[in-house]
Each structure stands twice: as structure tokens, then as C-alpha cells.
Amino acid sequence: MVMASKILNTIDMPCHEIIHPWVTSCCNASTGLLIHSIQTSLRIYVTTYTLTLLMKGRKPTKKELKQTLLNILQSTAFLSCHSFGLLSAMCLLRRLFGKFNVLSVAFLPCSLSSLVAILIERPSRRGLLSLYVTNVASETFYNMMVNRGIIKPIRYGDLFIFGSSITLLLYFFRGQHNKTDSIYSLLRFVVGSSEENNYKKPLLSPQTHQSGKSNQGIIRQAITDIYQAYCTIDSELKTIWTSDLCPHTYGCLYYILSIVSCLMRRFLGKDSKYICIPAGLLASLTYCVYRNNSITLYVMLKTLQIMYIKGSNDGHFPDLPRANIFFYCFSTAILIHAAILEPHNLRPSYWKFLQSLSGETVGLIDRNYLDIFGLKSSESFKSVLKTYKPVPSRVFKFKSNIIS
């Protein structure tokens, strides 16, 4: 109750005292941040799109180079709009309301700037961006609820979420699904395309079982012998324990290393997409080797997205137009709220990203004034500083070049 009453408090202070203490002018602060964010965004997307182009493994055409350049400029404008728009919206709402409140200090201005920014970005990237920020925001929101004592962590809860999600994904993989979805490309790589819906089992040719031969003039004889021995064992495993019930090309003993579906088919005497349920649950135990909340949340959100799309197509759920835009704006607003008012709940990697994009100015916000909302913002920021030490803001160098 005490915290709830404090959330209703307001701050009657100029915005430069709290939000941009490095310069008094709102225009100077926004412009300096815009210049720096353009430089940072350009560096990020030049690297990203160049690597994407190189990964195609061939000489790009003039059309591809032109499109890559346009994509870099468009994505740079998208990310730069976040920094410039966020700070501008903070100052604008301060002038409109006359005071700061718990929503106008971060959540509302970020919602507005995110809406403008995501509309600048290409529609083909909006879904991926929405999924990413929703992933990070879900983890942040969970941390916020735990620290408030609203929910309690469940032991091995992440294992349950991952196991159930990956099982549902495998079930959809064996049934009708969108084959172009990135998550199915990942499953195709992990479990093999033979587990996918409508897979046709090819006939083995005599050459399939022959071991490959290495060039004796290129590698050493010892490595050649090891490689040939491996190929011989590999070829033998592919021919052992074959069955017409299984869709995969090679023998079950070879394929059983990935999932237990072969044993289920032999036990039941038939193939079924429901076989993936026990197979997926058992295979998900490998998650214990490397437990990672980011992976768990991604798989869970991707599963929920696929389930909703499938339910919407079947008429079970209403179709929500522009849902990816809504989730992007809402999730980003949660992240910025956490970064400003309770940064200890934010993922460290995302905090560092915000610091880099803003020229370290996120860490310059005076959170002592924000303690009035009862979220212990200054104490939270001090805990972040123990693991991350900010450097002097790089936006300062633009101050002298900007006319008030």
C-alpha cells in the first residue's frame, strides 16, 4: 500500500534537472543524442548487413548492393529515432503535464517514440524485432514481479517451460506448419528434415554407403586414416536396423542419437505425429546441460506466437491487426521504464546496449529525484554500477557545436 501511494506522486522539477543534466536546453540535449545515436546505429547496421551479404557466399549484384545500402539507412533511421524521440517526448510531456509522474518519466514517452520508430523500419523486420524485445521484456517483467514479492520462482520452472514449448514445436513440425518460419529451419537442422511433415523417404543408392576418400596430398596420412575409419563406422551405422515405418533415410541406430522417435515407432508399429510428445519431453532434458533463460523465453514466445496464428487461421482466436507493432511498443516501454526507474531488473546486456546507443547518458539521469515513486531507483542504479562502470558521456562533445 505504501508503494502504491508513492507511485501517484509527481515531481515538479525542470526536465534538465532530472532527464538531461549535462545540458539545460532540451533541443541541445535531443540533437546531441541524435548525432551520437546515428553514428552508433550506422556502425551496428553496416556490420550486420555486410555480414549478411557475405554469408551468401557469392559476389553481390548491383541490385543487392543498392538494397543493402537502403536497408542500412532505413534501419539506422529506425534505431536513431528511438534515442532522439524518447528524449524529445520526455521533455514534451513534461511541458504538457507541468510535472513528471511515474508514467510520463519513461513509459509513455517510450511508447510514443517506439511507435514512430517501428513504423520507419521495414515491415519484414517488425515481427523479428517485436519477438526480440518481447523476449527481453518478459524476463524484465518477471524480475520485477519477483522483486516485489508478487510471484515466487519455481524450481526447475524454466526446464518445464522449455520442455513443454519444444514438444509443442515438434508436434507442429510433424503436422501442417509454415515451412519458411525461422524456428522450423532450426528444428530442421537439429532433428533432421525427415521428421518434418510430408517428408518423402528417398531410396538409398549403393554410393550412399561408400566412405569418402581424402586427398592424400593435402592432409597427413594419420588424419586420413582416422577420417576413413570414422566414415567406415558412420556408413555401417547408417545401414543397421532399418525400417520402412520410419521416414528417415538411414538406420534407426544411426538416427536414434537425435530423438527417441524410432523406438516409439517400433513399439507402436506405426508412425504418428503424436510420437514427438514423449520424444520431445525426453530430448528437452538436454537443456539441463546449458540452462539459459533467454533460450527458454524465445522458445516459449515463439510457441505462443505459432499457436495464436494457427488458432486465428482456424477461427478460434480473433485476428489482431498490427499486433507486432503493439507488442513492440509495449515491450520497449517496459524495458525503458526498467532502465530508468529500476535498472537492476534489466538484463545486463540490454543495459549496456542502451548505454552504448545513448552515449552513456542513460546512466546520467538523476535517479535521486525518482525515489519519490517508491521504486528505490537510486539504490537500484548503484547496484548496477557495481558490475558496470559508466564512462563520461560521449554526447558532451556535441554540446559546444549546437546553438541554443
- From the list 380, 9, 404, the residue with the least C-alpha distance to 362 is 380
- From the list 115, 96, 43, 33, the residue with the least C-alpha distance to 72 is 43
pTM: 0.74
Answer for the pair 20, 26: CB distance below 8 angstroms, yes or no: yes
Answer for the pair 83, 40: CB distance below 8 angstroms, yes or no: no
CA dihedral 253, 259, 262, 264 (to 10 degrees): 140
For the cut 90, the answer to whether the pLDDT of residue 400 exceeds it is: no
Place of cell 554526447: 395
Average pLDDT, the chain: 77
- From the list 261, 209, 202, the residue with the least C-alpha distance to 233 is 209
Query: Tell me, what DSSP letter sits at residue 150?
Result: S
Q: What's the burial of 33, exposed, middle or buried (CB within 10 Å: 0-12/13-18/19+)?
A: buried
Q: Model confidence at 52, in pLDDT bands (50, 70, 90)?
A: confident
pLDDT digits (tens, 9 = 90+) for 244-303: 666 556 555 455 444 755 555 555 555 555 566 666 666 666 666 667 777 788 888 888
d(CA 273, CA 350): 39
Q: Model confidence at 313, in pLDDT bands (50, 70, 90)?
A: confident
For the cut 80, the answer to whether the pLDDT of residue 5 exceeds it is: no
pLDDT digits (tens, 9 = 90+) for 10-49: 889 898 899 999 899 999 999 999 999 999 999 999 999 9
Answer for the pair 173, 197: CB distance below 8 angstroms, yes or no: yes
For the cut 90, the answer to whether the pLDDT of residue 219 exceeds it is: no
- CA 147 from centre of chain: 23
Q: Dihedrals φ, ψ of 152, to 5°?
A: -120, 140
At residue 183, the pLDDT reads: 66
At residue 43, the pLDDT reads: 93
At residue 80, the pLDDT reads: 93
Q: Model confidence at 194, in pLDDT bands (50, 70, 90)?
A: low
Residue scoring higher pLDDT (312 or 11)? 11
Answer for the pair 238, 250: CB distance below 8 angstroms, yes or no: yes
- CA 253 from centre of chain: 36
- How are the residues of the chain apportioned to helix, strand and coil, as percentages rounded to the nearest 5? 70, 0, 30
d(CA 135, CA 261): 30
Reading the block at residue 14, the C-alpha cell is 525542470
For the cut 60, the answer to whether the pLDDT of residue 210 exceeds it is: no
Residue scoring higher pLDDT (162 or 82)? 82
Q: Facing residues of 11 across strands?
A: 100
DSSP state string for 303-367: HHHHHHHHHHHTTSS---TTHHHHHHHHHHHHHHHHHHH-GGGS-HHHHHHHHHHTTTGGGGS-T
Q: Alpha helices, DSSP H only, in 57-122?
A: 62-97, 108-120
DSSP state string for 239-308: HSS--TTS-SSS-HHHHTTT-SHHHHHHHHTS--GGGHHHHHHHHGGGGGGS--HHHHHHHHHHHHHHHH
Residue scoring higher pLDDT (266 or 357)? 357
At residue 88, the pLDDT reads: 93
Answer for the pair 174, 271: CB distance below 8 angstroms, yes or no: no
Q: How many CA atoms lie within 13 A of 361 on its CB side?
A: 26
d(CA 283, CA 276): 10
Looking at residues 102-106, what average pLDDT do you find? 92
Q: Model confidence at 321, in pLDDT bands (50, 70, 90)?
A: confident
d(CA 199, CA 40): 45
Number of other residues whose CB lies within 10 A of the CB of residue 369: 17
